[in-house]
Structure 1
Amino acid sequence: MLDLLGLSSLSERLYQAVLADPARSVAELARDTGMTDQEIRSALDELADLALVKPSSRADGALWPVSPAVGLSALLAAAEDEAAARQRKIEATRATIAALAAQHEEHRLHRADAVVRLDGLDSVRSRLEELAANAVTECLSLNPGGADRPDARAASARLNEQALRRGVSIKAICRESFRNDADTLAHARWLTDLGGEMRTVPIVPIPLVIVDRTVAIVPVDPAEPRRGALELDGPGPLAVAAALFDQLWSVATPFGSSVPTDGQGLTLAERTLLELAAAGHTDEAAGRKLGVSARTVKRQMADLMARLGAESRFQAGARAAHRGWL
């Protein structure tokens, strides 16, 4: 009944029992509720986190229940505020989608050639070389697979140097996990030494190249890049591609900087892992998205559960949500 407020069934049962007789000890509560001592102590921790019990003035340091009219009403008000804020975001997103859809449809009606298919890797690489050679303002890229290997970097070095000398801004984003990859680190140093920039985020959703915000290259199939790519020059698709890059760039961490933490002491990668776990991703699936092994995911989740004082992932999710980690 009260799971919307963050209470598990055990915590709700214990809260009702403590309300009925606040003076009972843990042993008495265990006898009367059928809960184990460990379940009672865990539920008390949860109730304390939700401000539904508070220290008693008794000498034994017991906890005293907060009136439902006060404690539960406060939790409900917070849930209502969160729901209202989410609804506002949904409405704003709906308006953005409608505007982009209308813009895209209008452009589609006037431009039948807004999408060009580039078949195979050779065609894609040749077109990227042409675009880099003619870039005027900026080259932006998302790189889910990390940096190119040394032979590929050597082949593109001349074009990158020429572009940077012309004043073209080069910005690249790759996955956080590739900070531990020697080739990616070498590429980052190489790029930044030339005057380019590289940043990292926990998850890079798709490969993407944007040149001068007038052309975007996306894979036909992100899971199979050898199939080729699509070249987009319509305002609608370009607006979406540029918005995706700008959003990721705004939260990404520059190479050479320590990974920052937020107000809860979480890195962006840790918060992303919690979100993936809350969405039901397995360790293997989360690892694929983050570019790490399932063993690493298990270790990181164990650390997060310990920091939350949780004994299960369900309890970790509830406590993370209550503390604003999700």
Structure 2
Amino acid sequence: MLGAIGLDEGQESAYRALVALGAAEVPDLAHRLTLPVPATERALRHLERQGLAAQSSARPGRWVAAPPGVALGALLTQQRHELEQAELAAVLLAEEYRAEATEPAVHDLVEVVTGASAVAHRFVQLQLGAVEEVCALVTGRPQVVAGPDNDAEDRASGRGVAYRVVIEREVLTEPEGLRETQGALGRGEQVRVVPRVPTKLVIADRTLAMVPLTGRNAEPAALVVHASGLLESLLGLFEAVWRESLPLRLGTGGSVTESETAPDETDLEILSLLLAGMTDASVAKHLELGLRTVQRRVKGLMELSGVTTRLQLGWHAYERGWVAR
């Protein structure tokens, strides 16, 4: 918890122990921390430099903890000041960069990132730097960053960054695909489905994009594209796929209710998943319903709509506004 002010785990444990004891000899403290005496002495020396501990003037070899309210408060104030200075420096550097980059050279408009670690870092950095919107085309079987590891998406969404994501149908058949998609919808992201996306793509604030350069069996590499005609083409590609994709509707669980006059929440989930290309069996498994229940509900929707085929049901669902265009 105190790593933000420069303490590692051993130093924090030593300070907490000193606070609990009030004062202690080095051997006693080392025994309490189950650390070697030299390591305990190094931790205490670091705490002394931070103003968190001091040697007793009355009893040499005995260490006393500084009051947390005073000592930690001073360190936190210093950290805030340093952070403010860093933020100011970032603003000044950004202004200098904009001034120098009003007419960037052609070779500065794109950058090549190679290696799984570098690509993953740039992918996370791009999302964390977004302020307004992130647009993405997502394929199955990610090479570098899997859905559960993409905590940058959670953090960006938490800051109010809007997400528009198009996933290819294969994602919904993967073990974690539906769960991750459901989580994205729960965060307020807009998610749509197409049979296949032309390429992986992520665009932040319409000013920076990232696309893969290599196939599945090669070393990961990506192209980062800055504001340029190429970026405009990538934006056009995303918007074209977005227009042709199908909005996905997934519920958050809960009781299943029946309705004779209008489709209920479960009916609409079934419709959305079927229109996304899932089979009756896959829909039943995801919604934890019986296969016959899914088929009975589809039949009920067809009777409610007055149609005889599922193709007609899909058209009717659009016309009635049961699923978004």
Q: TM-score, normalised by structure 2?
A: 0.43
Bigger radius of gyration among the two: 2
Q: Highest relative contact order (Cα 8 Å, sep 6+), 1 or 2? A: 1
Task: Report the structure, 1 or 2, having the larger helix content.
Answer: 1
